[in-house]
Amino acid sequence: MDILTQPVASLHGVGAQTANRLQKLGIRSVQDLLFHLPHRYEDRTRVYPIAAVSAGMNVLVCGKVEFTELLPGGRKTLVCKISDATGAIFLRFFHFSAAQSQQLKADTWLSVFAEVRYGFAGLEMVHPDYKVIAHPDAAVTDTCLTAVYPLTEGLSQNLLRKVVRQALQACGQLTDWLPEKLLRQFNFPSLVVALQTLHAPDESLTMNALQDGSFPALKRLAFEELLTHHLSLKTLKYQAKTWPAPVFADHHDLGFQSLAKQFLQALPFQLTGAQHRVIAEIAADCCKPYPMLRLVQGDVGSGKTIVAAHTALLAINAGYQVAIMAPTELLAEQHFRNFSSWFADFSVQIGSLTGQLKGKARSELLQQLADGSLAIVIGTHALFQEQVQFQRLGLVVIDEQHRFGVNQRLALREKAQVAGIRPHQLVMTATPIPRTLAMLNYADLDISIIDELPPGRKPIVTSVIPAERRDAVIERINAWVAKTRQAYWVCTLIEESEQLQCEAAEKTAEKLVLALPDVRIGLLHGRMKPSDKDAIMQAFKNRQLDLLVATTVIEVGVDVPNAGLMIIENPERLGLAQLHQLRGRVGRGSDDSYCLLMYQSPLSDTARQRLGILRDSNDGFVIAEKDLELRGPGEVMGTRQTGLMRFKIADLSRDQALLEDIQQISDDFFAHYGSAIPPLCQRWLGESVNYSEV
Ligand code: ADP
Ligand code: MG
């Protein structure tokens, strides 16, 4: 019988309650337990002289009790000073028994393990693990490092160590899905050796070795995990391509001018070379009888919307409907207006569906989608509610995808399916992520890059200034508005609630109204009624307002070329990608434009460097790369962008170099080791990936 697939409850000492708690850690089977790896190690293999310890170290020391004292005060604290030949350190207990305070009497020898930290009277150890010993040489040291596991409430390290030890006995039955050839190529240990090494390090292993990302056992498992994530997304991509999709053939050969061509010819500007290239890539995809899954990455202002509009017309021309999804109502509304005016001459029916559309208007719109009289619907995620049915949905466009996670993207793909036909899918994002990371996050998509801005754009001049110079900034707005230009003032407070963010914007607006009596000021935030938001936005567009005070709701989509000055308050609180995105609201015309990053002093060194990156570059890809160097990938993508992608072992900042090899190895896997992919996914991803199609 296969012990590995047995539930953990089959192990000694694991009852129903423990099994439940283990399940909270995602551990159900014996195999899961083997892949629950220590997140750190403790070194109890040697006794440190007290003089050699410093704050932050987890160490074993031996000392004789000098005195033990009950500190007076509300919260009873027991403090004990111990010393060895080299120095002294304090032990501190907040919870203790009477027996304990008796036990810790002067002249008793103790061996003590804990993390050292700064205390009131010098270095101390809080709630240490301690034993009374007969004499200083009687301290019991371990021969090997001790594994420390991630826990959940009610589980102890000791219990976990015990059950893992049992599971390790079944370790030999694990199949190593990485081929020999690959192990040799990278000098990786076998799976069994890697797991044993990490769970139960032997005497030869030192702390430094285990914490080093290049440690072979660790590297092998991280590689396997990252490879598996990549393979699973690739599998989804291949599966999606086995579905039939509508073919948007262009009928120009019949002498008929397609809508898409007419649209491009009617534009008041020339497409950039990059736009041309991407449009051609998309058109080629849409002529194939299986679904396009394409991501268009292009910096803010690179002109992605035109590309989406062109694709929409290919679909409509072929008699299919189009759904365009935006992350915010503001952007959905903006797209609705743009598309309505662009397509006015083509008698294309366009509708808008957000969470706000209710009652009769909503049911009418749903009816028009269902009977096919509406060619395009533009909306928020409300588009993918169950009641929304299309007659012939042929294309789904998802704009500003960085606002959605991987899993949401996959979910949408499922929902968008009608009658066995899968629509083509176009995903657009302005958040460039470095190529290696794209391989993990977007492996289920083909990628097109718009790496060129429309001509005539001048770089946005960005300065970094302290909030102390607020008055000068306000004066600058006055002068700017006097030149009939418009401006944004962005209030940021991401770690706080949306409510607080809105209040901050309200207060700022009130103050600015007083400080700038001649300036027409509008306020825009997420908690306003959509119709009010829209009214403000329109007033700003029509130049009835000079200054728009807003929260980060304006991050995406807002397009007012005359607004060329942006003040961002507390920029140090936002990620660089988001700041770059916000800043992209200005510099949309051919005039000079400026962005003032008004920080709160004092600024940490890293924060200063990060804002410096933004000041020195207008290129989203450069900014992303530098941010990656400075902060590591997790932060660059942000939790918002990584969606549900979490790793058990891999750490993207430590293991980035591994990603370089994965692309090529993954092709090799699909070609030669395809049967290893499902069990690898099962092992590393468990239920977190939807394999309903397998
Ligand atoms: P983003 O890629 O950020 O979504 P948009 O599609 O909103 O950018 O385009 C930004 C602005 O540039 C819009 O006003 C759009 O009409 C304009 N634009 C797009 N392509 C071109 C082009 N080739 N030449 C000039 N202006 C363009
Ligand atoms: Mg856009």
pLDDT digits (tens, 9 = 90+) for 634-659: 444 443 333 335 677 887 767 878 88
What are the two backbone dihedrals, phi and then psi, of residue 622, each rounded to the nearest 5 degrees? -60, -45
What are the CA-CA distances from residue 36 to residues 333, 492, 684 (Å)?
A: 47, 39, 10
**More confident call, 681 vs 249:** 681
Of 269, 402, 585, the residue with max ligand 1 atoms within 8 A of its CB, to mutate for a pocket test, comes to 269
Max Cα distance, the chain (Å): 102
Q: Which atom of ligand 1 is nearest to the CA of 300?
A: 3
What pLDDT is attached to residue 354? 86
Per-residue pLDDT, averaged over 358-371, amounts to 93
Question: What was the pLDDT predicted at 471?
Answer: 95
User: Which residues on neighbouring strands pair with residue 237, listed in sequence order?
Assistant: none
* Mean pLDDT for all residues in the chain: 86
**Residue 588 CA to ligand 2 centre (angstroms):** 12
Residue type, 610: R
| CB neighbour list of residue 415: distance below 8 Å, 6 or more residues apart | 384
Cβ atoms within 10 Å of 268's Cβ, excluding its own = 4
Ligand 1 mean position, distance from CA 287 (Å): 26
CA–CA distance, 351 with 343 (Å, rounded to integer) = 12
| Rg (the chain; Cα; Å) | 31
For ligand 1, say whether the CB of 612 is within 6 Å of any of its atoms: no
- Give the number of residues written for the chain: 694
Q: What is the pTM of this model?
A: 0.75
pLDDT of residue 428 exceeding 70, the answer is yes
What is the CB neighbour count within 10 angstroms for residue 280? 11
Secondary structure letter of residue 665 according to DSSP: H
569 in Cβ contact with 470 (< 8 Å): no
Q: Cis omega before residue 602 (within 30°)?
A: yes
Q: What is the spatial distance between Cα 591 and Cα 582, in angstroms, rounded to a whole number? A: 18
5 vs 11, 192, 484, CA distance in Å? 12, 16, 71
Domain boundaries, the chain: 46-141, 254-450, 461-617
Does ligand 1 lie within 6 Å of residue 300's CB atom?
A: yes
Report the range of poorest mean pLDDT among 37-41, 52-56, 620-624, 640-644: 640-644
Does the C-beta of 304 come closer than 6 Å to ligand 1?
yes
> Does the domain formed by 461-617 have CATH 3.30.460.10?
no
As beta bridge partners, residue 131 has: 111
pLDDT in tens, 78-116: 999 999 999 999 999 988 888 888 899 999 999 999 999
Closest residue by Cα to residue 645 from 480, 371, 448, 442? 442
Residue 271 beta carbon below 6 angstroms from any ligand 1 atom = yes
pLDDT higher than 80, residue 370: yes
Q: Is the pLDDT of residue 415 over 70?
A: no
Q: Which atom of ligand 1 is nearest the CA belonging to 306? A: 6
Residue with tokens 């995105």: 581
Q: List the one residue out of 603, 562, 567, 569 whose CA is nearest residue 583.
A: 567
Q: Within its chain, how far is the Cα of 43 from the centroid?
A: 34
User: How many A from CA of 565 to the centre of ligand 1?
Assistant: 19
Buried b (16+ CB within 10 A) or exposed e, 521-532: bbbbbbebeeee
pLDDT, position 644: 37
Model confidence pLDDT, tens digit, residues 261-292: 889 999 999 999 999 999 999 999 999 999 99
Inter-residue contact 376 to 324 (CB < 8 Å): yes
Q: Do domains 254-450 and 461-617 have the same CATH topology?
A: yes
Structure tokens given for 223: 């590689």
Q: What is the pLDDT of residue 472?
A: 95
- Reported as a single tens digit per residue, the pLDDT across 562-572 is 999 999 999 98
Could you tell me the distance, in angstroms and rounded to a whole number, from the CA of residue 377 to the centre of ligand 1? 21
The pLDDT of residue 642 is 35
Residue 234 CB contacts under 8 Å (≥ 6 apart), including other chains: 443, 444, 666, 670
Ligand 1 proximity of 620 Cβ (cutoff 6 Å):
no
End-to-end CA separation in angstroms for the chain: 26
Cβ(228) – ligand 1 distance below 6 Å = no
Q: Please tell me the distance between residue 303's alpha carbon and the centre of ligand 1 in angstroms.
A: 3
Nearest listed ligand to the Cα of residue 307:
1
Residue of minimum CA distance from atom 5 in ligand 1: 303
Phi, psi of 620 (to 5 degrees): -55, -35
Q: Dig out the tokens for 169 from the structure.
A: 């006995």
Q: Token pair of 119, please?
A: 């205390």
d(Cα 656, Cα 30) in Å, to the nearest integer? 30
Q: Note the ligand closest to the C-alpha atom of 324.
A: 2
Looking at mean pLDDT, say which of 28-42, 279-293, 578-592 comes out highest: 279-293
Q: Is the CATH number 2.40.50.140 carried by domain 46-141?
A: yes
Cβ of 269 below 6 Å from ligand 1: yes
Residue 391 near residue 371 (C-beta atoms within 8 A): yes
CB atoms within 10 A of CB 468: 10
Residue nearest to atom 16 of ligand 1 (CA): 303
- Alpha-helix runs per DSSP H in 114-256: 157-169, 180-186, 191-199, 207-211, 216-240
Q: Which ligand 1 atom lies nearest to the CA of residue 584? A: 3
Q: Which CATH number fits domain 254-450: 3.90.1150.10, 3.40.50.300, 3.10.20.440, 3.30.450.20?
A: 3.40.50.300
- Any idea which residue has 């952007």 for tokens? 331
Q: Which one-letter DSSP state was computed for residue 200? A: S
